[in-house]
Structure 1
Amino acid sequence: MQKVRKAIIPAAGYGTRFLPETKAIAKEMLPIVDKPTIQFIVEEAHKAGIEEICVVTGRGKRSIEDHFDSAPELEADLANKGKDAMLEAVQSSNDSNLYFIRQNHMRGLGDAVLTAKDFIGDEPFVVLLGDDLMEDQVPLTKQLIDRYNETGESTLAVMRVPHEETNKYGVINPAQEVSDGLFEVKNFVEKPKPEDAPSNLAIIGRYLLTPQIFDALEQTPYGKGNELQLTDAIDLLNKTQHVYAHEFKGDRFDVGYKFGLIRTNIEFGLRHPDVKDELRDYVLQLAEDIKANKR
């Protein structure tokens, strides 16, 4: 069985939910306290043992490449001033074995993955979406790799959501639970009405895929908005080989919309050594003001 050592991070989207901020700044560079969201994704991949990462970018995403590049002048200045902690933080983003490929037209997640076909070759790989930050004792990407090492098959990450929210997600129709938290999948249903949802196990932003997904992508027609849907290709792949779903039971932070990004900044800020005390005091005072109808 081939080792899983490569990953794709799609990062070509316009980020329209965060306009006007994302007119000139890549959505993936929006910070969680003092670190861009995409750096959390890259760090998760590294902690899982991923060796090479392909970031699929587009127009206006140069800031991502610059962030992961070295900055000799800045590093020298920090070293000369004895700002070792800052220097370490800056250098930690330089040691990533990253490659960048452009998706010339925004034609869906499936098209973004297909753009990286030559980078992946005939190896299994992981897709990590930047809208979801995942926290657990074992990184979610590593959990998927462990499942792949058990089955040798493609495995998606799923998480239980309130049944009334299934219309926001792709949802699996599970065939059976083959072991604790691992499901064989009959098919996938995209954003079903709650009354039609076959389960409340929603697909979240991590996929471990075998290279046969590229054949499925090439056979899948472009749909609404001339977009190629990865879920449609996975459904097609499931007709010729098993696709499993792994239930994630850790913490998920959705930074793909405004409130989710604000909430995540508060949660992470309450842990950050530089701001946690002041932020906690502010939040407590804010809660008192709200109760007193001062806000």
Structure 2
Amino acid sequence: MTRITKAVFPVAGLGTRFLPATKAMPKELLPIIDKPIIQFAVEEAIGAGITELVFVTGRNKRAVGDHFDANLELESQLLAKGKKELRDLVRNIVPEGVSCIFVRQPEPLGLGHAVLCAAPAVGNNPFAVLLADDFMQGETLPTAALVAAFDQKPQNLLSVSEVSAEEVSKYGILRPGERGADGLISVKGLVEKPAREDAPSRLASFGRYVFTPEVFAVLRTLKPGAGGEIQLADAIDQLAEAGKVAAISNPSQRYDCGSKFGYLTAIVDHALAHPDYRTRFLDLLRDRLTGPGCSQ
């Protein structure tokens, strides 16, 4: 059986919801305290056994590659100033044995098209897809859970969570089948952003996937969907109708860092869990909530 060693990171989006901050800086490099969002996704993939990272980039995304590339000048300066710990931190962003490949998406033709652009780098191998906007925290992260499920039964897999009825119009919603004894949910279809009254369930697919290479054949034949783009959700729906998709429950806490409030929530919760900042940050919050001028 072929193990999953490749992961695709679509990072070509413009990040318009965070303008003007993202005018010159990729949204994927927005920090959660001192680490960019994309690095958390990369660490999640590496923790799941991924050794080949495929970044699908677009215009003005060179900084993403620079972040994961070596910076010998910076490392030399840090070492000269006696800051070996910081030098090691910078040097080990991508650990030894893990490689990075950068592929260009020439036009912003949708998430499905971005994944298709990675086909030459992925080849005839199963692979994971991680969307950096979905920041995950927990003891077990979704990519590790997906890879483990694939090891047990190789197939296309989605990570899903239940959302409120008010939120179904924001996500791809499953038409679920039966849940097996192994915890896998058969997927009969995927409806992209349905109206509340039309949603077939409240199980939403988020930005973590595992695919077999057959998804590329589907993406190549897809016609443009919503927004005139090649939609990954449409490819998943087609595979699901053929009985080739299953889902597992997301075992972690997800933050939607594609929205400003989700991004702010991620920063707050990460600070509250951080051993260096937790106590001082709690004191700061208490001070702000009880200080002069605070309305209860």
Q: Determine which of 183, 193, 214 is the counterpart of 1:212.
A: 214
Aligned equivalents of 2:248, 2:293: Cα separation in 1: 42
Aligned equivalents of 2:186, 2:23: Cα separation in 1: 42
Mapping for residues 76-95 of structure 1, pairs under 5 Å: 76-95=76-95
What secondary structure is seen at the aligned counterpart in 1 of 2:204? Answer: strand
Shift of 1:272: 3.1
Asked if the contact 2:163–2:204 (Cα under 8 Å) also holds between the matched residues in 1, the reply is yes
Q: Deviations over 1:226-252 (max 9, x none)?
A: 200001011112233420011113211
Asked if the contact 1:8–1:116 (Cα under 8 Å) also holds between the matched residues in 2, the reply is yes
Aligned partner of 1:143 in structure 2 is 145
Asked if the contact 2:15–2:26 (Cα under 8 Å) also holds between the matched residues in 1, the reply is yes
**Match status 1:275 vs 2:277:** yes
Q: TM-score, normalised by structure 2?
A: 0.95
Asked if the contact 2:177–2:187 (Cα under 8 Å) also holds between the matched residues in 1, the reply is yes
Shift of 1:28: 0.3
Q: Determine which of 154, 159, 178 is the counterpart of 1:176.
A: 178
Aligned residues: 294
Shift of 1:191: 1.1
Shift of 1:202: 0.3
Asked if the contact 1:153–1:241 (Cα under 8 Å) also holds between the matched residues in 2, the reply is no
Amino acid at match of 2:7: A
- 253-262 or 108-117: which moved more? 253-262
Aligned partner of 1:106 in structure 2 is 108
Amino acid at match of 1:70: A
Asked if the contact 2:140–2:251 (Cα under 8 Å) also holds between the matched residues in 1, the reply is no
Aligned partner of 2:189 in structure 1 is 187
- 230-239 or 5-14: which moved more? 230-239
Asked if the contact 2:141–2:252 (Cα under 8 Å) also holds between the matched residues in 1, the reply is no
Aligned partner of 2:46 in structure 1 is 46
Amino acid at match of 1:12: A
Amino acid at match of 1:75: E
**Match status 1:69 vs 2:65:** no
Aligned equivalents of 1:176, 1:235: Cα separation in 2: 17
- 91-100 or 19-28: which moved more? 91-100
What secondary structure is seen at the aligned counterpart in 1 of 2:128? Answer: strand
Q: RMSD between aligned alpha carbons?
A: 1.6
Asked if the contact 1:161–1:200 (Cα under 8 Å) also holds between the matched residues in 2, the reply is yes
Amino acid at match of 1:254: D
What secondary structure is seen at the aligned counterpart in 1 of 2:38? Answer: helix
Asked if the contact 2:189–2:238 (Cα under 8 Å) also holds between the matched residues in 1, the reply is no
Aligned partner of 1:30 in structure 2 is 30
Q: TM-score, normalised by structure 1?
A: 0.95
Aligned partner of 1:4 in structure 2 is 4
Aligned partner of 2:167 in structure 1 is 165
What secondary structure is seen at the aligned counterpart in 1 of 2:223? Answer: coil
Shift of 1:276: 3.0
Specify every segment of 5 or more residues in structure 1 that has no aligned partner in the other structure, as ranges: none
Q: Percent identity?
A: 44
Amino acid at match of 2:11: A
- 81-90 or 12-21: which moved more? 81-90
Shift of 1:12: 0.1
The verdict on how the C-alpha distance between 1:289 and 1:53 changes in structure 2, with shifts beyond 3 A counting, is: same
Which segments of structure 1 move beyond 4 Å, counting only runs of 4 or more?
none
Aligned partner of 1:153 in structure 2 is 155
Specify every segment of 5 or more residues in structure 2 that has no aligned partner in the other structure, as ranges: none
Shift of 1:269: 1.7
Amino acid at match of 1:4: I
Q: Deviations over 1:36-57 (max 9, x none)?
A: 1100010000000001010001
Asked if the contact 2:189–2:236 (Cα under 8 Å) also holds between the matched residues in 1, the reply is no
Q: Deviations over 1:95-152 (max 9, x none)?
A: 3411111101101000000001111111000000011111232221111011112221
The verdict on how the C-alpha distance between 1:193 and 1:289 changes in structure 2, with shifts beyond 3 A counting, is: farther
- 73-82 or 120-129: which moved more? 73-82
